[in-house]
Every structure is written in structure tokens, then in C-alpha cells.
């Protein structure tokens, strides 16, 4: 397990260098070419997603090692954890429709099992709900794959990327695949499974679920949107996604403001930030702003992954130290865990979108795209959503700085738990400084 944790980031770093130097990288499994063979492909976006998942996973693995010391079910955890990481890596490298289905299922099953690990009633109910939604989404996606194969005779993303004629079969395939992936990405109003699942899972699991697993199905939808279904996009579908995204931002932020548990607040914050992600579709509809919109959306994926993981790790440390996470009874805790609250604050600036964080760069690119296209209403939504995020982040932050003696902790805050959260929060801030390099990586492969 330790070897895998060290090797995988090294391999990802090597691959990033290779992709930057040589461009798009394809590999046929077993030497069989498409349309029958399964093809793996690494372009700039895939490599960047691999990189962010390696970064988040490595840091959270270190956190989980200390967090789970002494728990009985720890052997099950590590097996499922590595399984989840493997499924994510396979998903980002797939260039074949059915391979994407298999990796989506692997991801869903390992995520559900990890959510169910605490074996308390809330966790088991949340896991069951998550499993039912995940299976429905996968079956809808598979139906789309069946329709698309019947209409075109191939499963390879490369071969399908040519112009697909709009027939009832391909339009139905588009609708079903999009519906399935939206269910898995928890866009409003299909987000109902996410708050209980992410709030009741163990803290390292919640971190990785919010940071990476919901982004995986978003990544698949984005890739299909940009390559396979590009000629089938209608203004109606784009604006519908935009309306759902706006509702997600507003609803998630309002629910986060009124949550009384810290992890529930962070889970609803994920619902809101997923709304921001889906704004990539209406913002990239017109060609003038599309590159900025796509870069902004992907940048939001990366900075939200680091920031949300840091926030969930902080919440986990709070539970580890104090035994509960009711916000009303957490006043003054900055005295017991100053490093964690510093991490929470830094990650919060990225979630709100304040400079100089990665979240600011992402929102800046989004605002650029919206203003270039003349879609001023998205600007109102993005800035308003930032204000709401500020409200719920500061609500907890100010309570933790209250002028009280603070509560006596059950056990002292372990150094590793605090500093891993701070490390991820610093990554979210550091992403604000490396934007040109990231943009160069994203451009490899010519997807936009």
C-alpha cells in the first residue's frame, strides 16, 4: 500500500512531462486497434485530472493512516481505498464508451462500500441511497451506449468524434447518457443522495468523494459533450443545464447556511460548487468565450478538489478531537486546533473565490467568458454565489474564533492530521499562481 502511494504520483509526474513534451498519447490494449480494441488515451485534460487525483489521494492517504489507527475495520478500508484510486485512474485514461461504463461502475461500487464503512444507521442508509442512484445512473448511461452503438457501430471515442447525424437514436442516446451522468454528479435536482452520503462517511472518504468522485462523472460528461455529441447540442439543452446549475448554486448555499453539522454544511457546499462546474456548458456555448469557459471550469475542478478535501479533513480532525461536529457547540476551538482552522480559512478563500487562490482564477475565467459572450446574468450568479459561499464559510469560521475558553478536547489534535489539511489548502492557494502552466497542460491534445 505504501509502495502504491509513492509510485503512483511519481508515475503521474513522469506522464505529465511526457504529455507536455510529446502531446497526445494513445495506447491500444493488446495491440488490437479500434473499433474492436479498447484504447487508452492521455491528453492534457486526462493528465491534469490524473495529477490532481494523485495529489489529493496521496495527502489524504497520509491523513487516513493516522486517522484510522486503532480502528478494527481498517483492512477493509485500505483495499477499497486503493480500488477507488485505481478506478479513478482507469476512468481518466479511457477513450472507449464501454470502458467508461465499467470504470464508472467500479468507482460507484467502491465509493458506496467506503461510505458504508462506519456501519452506523445513518451511514448505511446513505450508502444504500447512493448505491441505488449510482446504479440507475449507470444503467441510463449504458442504455445510451447501446443506442449509440446501434446507430454508429463503434464504441471508440475517436471514431465517434466525427459529426454524428442527429437521428432519434443519437438524440435519445445523448439524453440518456447525460441524465445518467448528471445523476452521478449530483446536479440539482438530482443531488438528494449527496449530502447524507458525504456527511456520514468517514472524513478521508468524504474528502475524496467530494473532491474527485463527483468530478469523474462530470469529466465524462464534458468529454462526451466536447467530442461525441458536439453536433447534437441544442440551445435548449444548454440553457436547461444552466438553470439547473444556477438552482444548485443557490439551493446548496442556502442549505449550507442553515446546516447545524459541520460535515453537512461542507456537503451542501459541494452541491453548490457542482452547480458552478455545470456553468461550463452555457458559458462555452458561443465560440468567443468558450476557451476561457472551459479553462475556468477545469480550473475550478482542480482548485475545488484541493480546497474541499482540505475542508473535509479539517472537519475530520474536529470530530477526532472533540467527538462531534455540531457547529453551535464548536465555539472557540481555534485555541485547540489553530493549524486546522488556518487550513479551513485558506481553503475557504478558494471556495469563495478570493484572490490569490485557484478558485479566484477559475471564477475570473468564468466571468471573462460570460462578459465576452454578453451573458451578464451568469456574472450575477457567479458573484452572488461567491457572496453566499462567504456567508457560510464565515459563519463557522467566526464561531470557531469566538472569545470563549473553548471546550476540553477528548484527545489532542495529531500533528499529521492538521498539517495534511494545511498542505492541501496551500495547494489550493498555489494553484492561483501556476495558471499559465496549467493552461498549457490543458491545451495538449487540442480538445479546445
Partner 1 sequence: MTVSLLYPLTGVALISMGFYALVVYPHLIRKLLAINVTGAGVFLFMVAAAGNAGAEAPDPVPHAMVLTGIVVAISATALALVLVHRIYQLTGSNRLTDESPDEKS
For partner 1, the closer CB: 143 or 435: 143
Burial environment of residue 372 by CB neighbours within 10 A (0 to 12, 13 to 18, 19 or more): middle
For partner 1, the closer CB: 127 or 280: 127
Q: Residues 83, 110: contact at Cβ < 8 Å?
A: yes
Which residues, in sequence order, are CB contacts of 4 under 8 Å at separation 6+?
82, 85
Burial environment of residue 20 by CB neighbours within 10 A (0 to 12, 13 to 18, 19 or more): middle
Q: Does 29 interact with partner 1 (rule: CB under 8 A)?
A: no
Give 163's DSSP letter: P
Q: Report the residue from 189, 323, 356, 412 that binds partner 1 according to the rule CB under 8 A.
A: 323
List C-alpha distances in Å: 84 to 103, 104, 118, 246: 10, 10, 17, 30
| CA 344/CA 202 separation, integer angstroms | 18
Q: How far is the CB of 148 from partner 1 (least distance, A)?
A: 10
In order, the DSSP letters of 349-387 are HHHHT-TTSHHHHHHHHHHHHHHHHT-HHHHHHHHHHHH
Q: Long-range contact list for 230-233, CB < 8 A, 24+ apart?
A: 230/161, 230/163, 231/163, 231/164, 231/165, 231/166, 232/164, 232/166, 232/170, 232/171, 232/174, 233/285
Q: Report the residue from 4, 25, 40, 129 that binds partner 1 according to the rule CB under 8 A.
A: 129
Q: Does 428 interact with partner 1 (rule: CB under 8 A)?
A: no
For partner 1, the closer CB: 140 or 291: 140
Closest CA to 48 of 445, 448, 438: 438
| CA 215/CA 69 separation, integer angstroms | 29
Which residues, in sequence order, are CB contacts of 423 under 8 Å at separation 6+?
59
Q: Report the residue from 51, 118, 282, 445 that binds partner 1 according to the rule CB under 8 A.
A: 118
The pattern of x and - marking residues 235 through 264 that bind partner 1 according to CB under 8 A reads ----------------------------x-
Stretch that binds partner 1, among 26-34, 88-96, 285-293, 323-331 (CB under 8 A): 323-331
Q: How far is the CB of 289 from partner 1 (least distance, A)?
A: 37
Q: Does 210 interact with partner 1 (rule: CB under 8 A)?
A: no
Q: Which cell goes with 145?
A: 451506449
For partner 1, the closer CB: 65 or 98: 98
Stretch that binds partner 1, among 6-14, 95-103, 376-384, 415-423 (CB under 8 A): 95-103
For partner 1, the closer CB: 154 or 161: 154
**Count of residues engaged in binding partner 1, rule: CB under 8 A:** 47
| CA 328/CA 148 separation, integer angstroms | 52
| CA 170/CA 161 separation, integer angstroms | 13
For partner 1, the closer CB: 112 or 362: 112
Neighbours of 73 (CB within 10 A): 11
Q: How far is the CB of 315 from partner 1 (least distance, A)?
A: 9
Stretch that binds partner 1, among 52-60, 127-135, 235-243, 435-443 (CB under 8 A): 127-135
For partner 1, the closer CB: 139 or 254: 139
The pattern of x and - marking residues 142 through 181 that bind partner 1 according to CB under 8 A reads xx-xxx-xx----x--------------------------
Q: Report the residue from 113, 190, 213, 249 that binds partner 1 according to the rule CB under 8 A.
A: 113
Q: How far is the CB of 155 from partner 1 (least distance, A)?
A: 7
Q: Does 80 interact with partner 1 (rule: CB under 8 A)?
A: no
Stretch that binds partner 1, among 5-13, 139-147, 159-167, 230-238 (CB under 8 A): 139-147
Distance of CA 276 to the CA centre of its chain: 11
Closest CA to 213 of 223, 204, 200: 204
Q: Residues 100, 88: contact at Cβ < 8 Å?
A: no
Q: Does 296 interact with partner 1 (rule: CB under 8 A)?
A: no
| CA 392/CA 258 separation, integer angstroms | 8
Q: Does 328 interact with partner 1 (rule: CB under 8 A)?
A: no
Judged by the rule CB under 8 A, the positions of this chain that interact with partner 1 are 36, 98, 101-102, 105, 108-109, 112-113, 116, 118-125, 127-129, 131-132, 135-136, 138-139, 142-143, 145-147, 149-150, 155, 196, 200-203, 263, 316, 319, 323-326
Amino acid at each position: 500500500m505504501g509502495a502504491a502511494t509513492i509510485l503512483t504520483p511519481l508515475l503521474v509526474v513522469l506522464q505529465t512531462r511526457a504529455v507536455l513534451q510529446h502531446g497526445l498519447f494513445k495506447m491500444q490494449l493488446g495491440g488490437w486497434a479500434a473499433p474492436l480494441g479498447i484504447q487508452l488515451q492521455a491528453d492534457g485534460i486526462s493528465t491534469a485530472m490524473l495529477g490532481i487525483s494523485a495529489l489529493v489521494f496521496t495527502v489524504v492517504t497520509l491523513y487516513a493512516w493516522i486517522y484510522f489507527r486503532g480502528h478494527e475495520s481498517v483492512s477493509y478500508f485500505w483495499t477499497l481505498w486503493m480500488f477507488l484510486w485505481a478506478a479513478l485512474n482507469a476512468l481518466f485514461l479511457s477513450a472507449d464508451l464501454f470502458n467508461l461504463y465499467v470504470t464508472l461502475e467500479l468507482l460507484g461500487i467502491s465509493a458506496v462500500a467506503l461510505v458504508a464503512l462506519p456501519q452506523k444507521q445513518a451511514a448505511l442508509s446513505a450508502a444504500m441511497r447512493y448505491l441505488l442512484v449510482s446504479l440507475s445512473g449507470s444503467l441510463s448511461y449504458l442504455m445510451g451506449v447501446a443506442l449509440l452503438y446501434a446507430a454508429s457501430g463503434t464504441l471508440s471515442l475517436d471514431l465517434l468524434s466525427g459529426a454524428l447525424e442527429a437521428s432519434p437514436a443519437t438524440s435519445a442516446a445523448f439524453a440518456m447518457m447525460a441524465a445518467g451522468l448528471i445523476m452521478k454528479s449530483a446536479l440539482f435536482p438530482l443531488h438528494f443522495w449527496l449530502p447524507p452520503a458525504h456527511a456520514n462517511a468517514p472524513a478521508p472518504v468524504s474528502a475524496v468523494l467530494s473532491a474527485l468522485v463527483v468530478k469523474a462523472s462530470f469529466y465524462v460528461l464534458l468529454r462526451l459533450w466536447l467530442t461525441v455529441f458536439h453536433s447534437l447540442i441544442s440551445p435548449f439543452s444548454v440553457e436547461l443545464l444552466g438553470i439547473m446549475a444556477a438552482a444548485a448554486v443557490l439551493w446548496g448555499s442556502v442549505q449550507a447556511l442553515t446546516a447545524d453539522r459541520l460535515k453537512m454544511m461542507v456537503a451542501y457546499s459541494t452541491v453548490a460548487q457542482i452547480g458552478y462546474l455545470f456553468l461550463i456548458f452555457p458559458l462555452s456555448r458561443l465560440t468567443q468565450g468558450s476557451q476561457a469557459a472551459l479553462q475556468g471550469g477545469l480550473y475550478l475542478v482542480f482548485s475545488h478538489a484541493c480546497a474541499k478535501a482540505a475542508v473535509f479533513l479539517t472537519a475530520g480532525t474536529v470530530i477526532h478531537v472533540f467527538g462531534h461536529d455540531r457547529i453551535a457547540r464548536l465555539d472557540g476551538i481555534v485555541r485547540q486546533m489553530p493549524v486546522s482552522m488556518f487550513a479551513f480559512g485558506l481553503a475557504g478563500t478558494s471556495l469563495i473565490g478570493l484572490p490569490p487562490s485557484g478558485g479566484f482564477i477559475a471564477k475570473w475565467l468564468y466571468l471573462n467568458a460570460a462578459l465576452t459572450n454578453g451573458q451578464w446574468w451568469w456574472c450575477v450568479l457567479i458573484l452572488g454565489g461567491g457572496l453566499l459561499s462567504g456567508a457560510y464559510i464565515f459563519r463557522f469560521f467566526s464561531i470557531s474564533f469566538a472569545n470563549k475558553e473553548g471546550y476540553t478536547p477528548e484527545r489532542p489534535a495529531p500533528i499529521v492530521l492538521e498539517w495534511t489539511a494545511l498542505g492541501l489548502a496551500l495547494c489550493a492557494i498555489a494553484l492561483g499562481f501556476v495558471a499559465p502552466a496549467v493552461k498549457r497542460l490543458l491545451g495538449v491534445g487540442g480538445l479546445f
